[in-house]
Amino acid sequence: MLGFDVRNRDKQQGFILVTGLLFLFMMALMVLSLLNTVHLELRMSQNLAIASQQFQVAEAGLKIAENRLTLLVQRKILDLHQQLNYADFQLSYDIERLAMPFCCHEKIAYRILAKARQTAADAALILETTYAVAGNEDCQGGEAQLIRTGRGAWRELNKY
């Protein structure tokens, strides 16, 4: 007989339910995996944005220190330290006069360290550069002269 058999129906009861539950479990695992991946990528992009902002704040610290040097160069600064808040970051810079073994021909070189951190618990991003400004010191005869005024190349002092 080609029709519906009542005895066959009793043997297959519950198979669709088990298959449906298995399918829903697999879909739930795929959704959880997708959510985990999206959360990880979101955290990575937030960290990248914060690192970029931190670098920009440290760069701004170098520029602030350079501007401060050009204003105060006539006072014979030996070292200077300042700490301030800038764009929700803690920014500090240190300026130290470099002792040079050559005549600076009315130019004075300084070492500038700029540190930027978001909170006290975070690691600071540290940038270092040298900066030469015009001063009022005269050279003595026969010494090599420093010609360039302005910033040298900066370098990052953080260890990863």
Reading the chain (160 residues) residue by residue, the pLDDT tens digits are: 455 565 666 666 778 889 999 999 999 999 999 999 999 999 999 999 998 999 999 999 988 988 887 777 656 566 688 888 888 899 999 988 877 655 555 567 788 889 998 887 778 888 888 887 765 555 555 444 445 567 776 677 775 4
Residues 6+ apart with CB under 8 A from 156: 125, 126, 127, 128
Which pTM was predicted?
0.67
Burial of residue 80 (CB within 10 Å: 0-12, 13-18, 19+) is middle
Cα separation, 65 vs 11, whole angstroms? 84
